[in-house]
């Protein structure tokens, strides 16, 4: 009987994992594959009508689409021409195509109930209050952080803190560590992050375990990810905000883990599996009780021992 249950369980797991996998690695559409013969590689081949020769050229690195990331993004089922003009099907591309306006997230997702859980409109409101929008205006689009080719919601779907952190911080670093992209929206130099955060010990460790937005946004309980990046004067600098038993991380980064924990492993399992153990913040009631019991038992042992030694004398 037990074996039967176990087999049924294993089968269900297999089916679930297969269906998850097939969704992850669905083949790319024909339309995307056509463009990717050139845009998926560092070099492309063209037939030069002037010389009648076939020629190999270098692709502009900024115009290379990473096929692996495209496959895992939310828009992986799209043909390139679902967003870009169909005129791109011919090469050389017509010069005026460069000026083609492209759809924003809100153009497609705004006011659509299918995506209500993502709260696109609320995110837009929050974003418009952020330093980025206030200082740079319309030139700072959602796509400056969310590459439409690759975006995948990690905070919502990932089961590890480290993946969420590295994915999120890479979005910020794509400008804050890259002068060319920074200057797409500003004439300033980008401040050197290591110097700006010199007050923070173990900087690298921190940046691997917390997101930039932890310190740079106001936490909202109703949004999955806060989008209001505050000016630097309002950034979190106090260590106890995180290194204490009511760490602010519980309401931001760790709330995603909590969601997972509640649906599956239970609180203790989640803490034991959690790679980011935080001094001061993680306290497991069961472990605490156990350590008190051990302490009391040890004390009793010592007492008993001394009592015997005393009486045997
Ligand atoms: C024969 C190779 C080739 C094919 C096929 C190709 N492209 Fe391109 N594409 C290029 C090259 C090279 C550039 C760089 C600019 C140029 O030479 O026009 C480019 C530039 C672009 C740009 C950037 C334009 C700009 O300056 O901002 C976009 C967008 C683009 N291609 C989309 C597509 C789409 C969509 C398809 C498929 C429908 C496609 N391309 C098919 C070679 C190709
Ligand atoms: C969901 C919509 C969407 C799809 C699908 C899409 N693109 Fe794009 N693409 C964009 C947007 C938006 C930009 C402009 C990015 C920006 O302004 O920062 C862009 C920019 C580009 C550029 C210019 C370089 C850059 O990153 O700015 C190239 C080249 C390009 N796309 C090629 C492709 C190819 C090839 C495909 C198919 C494999 C494709 N795109 C599919 C929305 C899309
Ligand atoms: C050209 C229209 C278009 C644009 C522009 C666009 N999207 Fe999408 N997006 C879609 C469609 C259609 C789907 C559904 C794809 C599917 O089901 O395979 C989707 C799927 C998604 C999903 C997954 C929804 C779900 O629950 O399955 C997210 C998240 C998302 N988009 C975010 C964004 C963000 C963020 C932007 C801007 C950076 C953006 N999209 C720009 C049309 C668009
Ligand atoms: C300064 C960078 C930045 C800008 C600008 C930005 N976002 Fe985001 N956004 C993020 C980060 C970081 C996340 C968290 C990514 C993750 O782990 O899913 C996120 C998450 C999201 C999500 C997923 C939330 C969920 O419930 O899973 C949506 C939808 C979204 N953003 C839409 C937008 C829209 C629409 C705009 C423009 C109005 C925008 N974002 C502008 C950084 C940005
Ligand atoms: C532990 C909290 C914390 C984390 C994590 C953090 N920051 Fe900061 N950041 C601050 C504080 C506090 C300041 C203000 C420092 C000052 O004014 O002396 C600041 C300043 C800044 C500034 C302003 C620079 C200037 O002087 O103009 C930028 C830009 C910045 N941070 C970006 C980031 C990015 C990008 C990340 C993620 C890689 C990040 N921060 C992670 C707390 C943090
Ligand atoms: C498109 C490039 C770009 C991206 C992506 C980006 N930033 Fe910025 N950021 C800027 C620029 C440029 C400034 C300087 C102010 C301005 O002109 O918008 C800035 C300023 C800041 C400041 C300082 C505000 C002040 O008071 O001076 C902070 C903090 C900050 N960014 C945090 C972040 C965080 C966190 C992320 C990721 C969620 C991020 N940025 C993503 C370009 C970017
Ligand atoms: C935004 C939340 C946050 C803030 C603010 C913060 N920390 Fe941390 N800190 C963390 C996290 C998360 C870790 C990683 C714990 C781990 O996995 O080792 C960490 C790790 C550390 C470590 C390394 C511990 C070890 O295991 O080696 C030290 C030391 C530390 N922090 C000191 C500080 C000091 C001092 C400040 C104030 C100047 C500070 N932190 C501010 C979240 C924070």
Whether residue 142 is contained in a domain is answered as: yes
164 lines ligand 4 (CB under 6 A): yes
Domain check: are 176 and 51 in the same one? no
Going by CA atoms, what residue is nearest to atom 33 of ligand 3? 105
- Could you tell me the residue range of the domain that residue 203 belongs to? 103-237
Whether residue 121 is contained in a domain is answered as: yes
Structure tokens at 47: 């037939």
Cα distance between residue 123 and residue 227, in whole Å:
6
Domain check: are 138 and 82 in the same one? no
Q: Among 48, 69, 91, where does a domain finish?
A: 91
Domain check: are 121 and 227 in the same one? yes
Whether residue 280 is contained in a domain is answered as: no
CA Rg, the chain, in Å?
Answer: 27
Domain check: are 115 and 213 in the same one? yes
Total tally of structural domains belonging to the chain: 2
Q: Among 237, 261, 286, where does a domain finish?
A: 237
288 lines ligand 7 (CB under 6 A): no
For residue 184, report the distance from its CA to the centre of ligand 1, in Å. 21
Nearest ligand to the CA of 182 is 6
Asked whether the beta carbons of 213 and 226 are under 8 A apart, the reply is: yes
Nearest ligand to the CA of 151 is 3
Domain check: are 80 and 127 in the same one? no
Domain check: are 73 and 107 in the same one? no
What H or E segment, with its residue span, contains residue 149? none
Cα distance between residue 82 and residue 148, in whole Å:
12
135 lines ligand 6 (CB under 6 A): yes
Domain check: are 73 and 111 in the same one? no
Domain check: are 121 and 233 in the same one? yes
Which stretches in the chain have pLDDT values below 50?
Answer: 1-2, 4, 7-23, 262, 265-275
Per-residue pLDDT at 123: 96
Cα distance between residue 252 and residue 275, in whole Å:
16
Q: What are the CA-CA distances from residue 266 to residues 17, 198, 248 (Å)?
A: 21, 38, 21
Among 145, 189, 197, 244, residue to substitute to test ligand 5 (most atoms within 8 Å of Cβ): 197
Domain check: are 68 and 131 in the same one? no
Whether residue 310 is contained in a domain is answered as: no
42 phi and psi angles, rounded to 5 deg: -75, -25
Among 132, 146, 170, 259, residue to substitute to test ligand 4 (most atoms within 8 Å of Cβ): 146
Domain check: are 108 and 87 in the same one? no
Cα distance between residue 159 and residue 269, in whole Å:
13
Domain check: are 80 and 114 in the same one? no
For residue 309, report the distance from its CA to the centre of ligand 6, in Å. 70
Per-residue pLDDT at 251: 87
* pTM metric for this prediction: 0.88
Among 239, 245, 274, 277, residue to substitute to test ligand 7 (most atoms within 8 Å of Cβ): 239
């Amino acid at each position: 009987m037990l074996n039967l249950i176990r087999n049924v369980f294993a089968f269900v797991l297999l089916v679930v994992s297969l269906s998850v996998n097939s969704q992850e690695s669905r083949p790319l559409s024909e339309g995307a594959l056509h463009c990717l013969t050139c845009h998926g590689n560092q070099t492309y081949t063209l037939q030069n009508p002037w010389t009648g020769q076939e020629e190999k050229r270098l692709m502009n690195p900024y115009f290379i689409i990473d096929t692996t990331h495209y496959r895992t993004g939310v828009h992986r089922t799209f043909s390139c021409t679902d967003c870009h003009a169909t005129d791109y099907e011919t090469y050389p591309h017509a010069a005026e195509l460069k000026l083609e306006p492209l759809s924003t997230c809100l153009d497609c997702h705004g006011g659509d109930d299918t995506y209500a859980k993502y709260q696109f409109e609320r995110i837009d409101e929050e974003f418009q209050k952020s330093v980025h929008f206030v200082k740079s205006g319309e030139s700072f689009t959602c796509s400056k952080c969310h590459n439409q080719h690759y975006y995948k919601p990690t905070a919502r779907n990932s089961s590890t803190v480290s993946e969420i952190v590295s994915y999120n911080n890479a979005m910020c670093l794509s400008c804050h560590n890259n002068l060319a992209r920074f200057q797409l929206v500003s004439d300033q130099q980008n401040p050197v992050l290591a110097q700006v955060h010199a007050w923070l010990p173990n900087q690298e460790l921190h940046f691997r375990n917390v997101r930039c937005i932890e310190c740079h946004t106001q936490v909202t309980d109703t949004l999955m990810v806060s989008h209001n990046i505050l000016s630097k004067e309002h950034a979190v600098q106090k260590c106890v905000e995180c290194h204490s038993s009511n760490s602010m991380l519980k309401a931001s980064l760790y709330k995603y883990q909590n969601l997972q924990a509640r649906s599956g492993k239970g609180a203790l399992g989640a803490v034991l599996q959690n790679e980011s153990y935080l001094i001061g913040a993680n306290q497991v009631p069961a472990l605490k009780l156990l350590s008190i019991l051990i302490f009391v038992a040890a004390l009793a042992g010592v007492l008993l021992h001394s009592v015997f030694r005393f009486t045997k004398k």
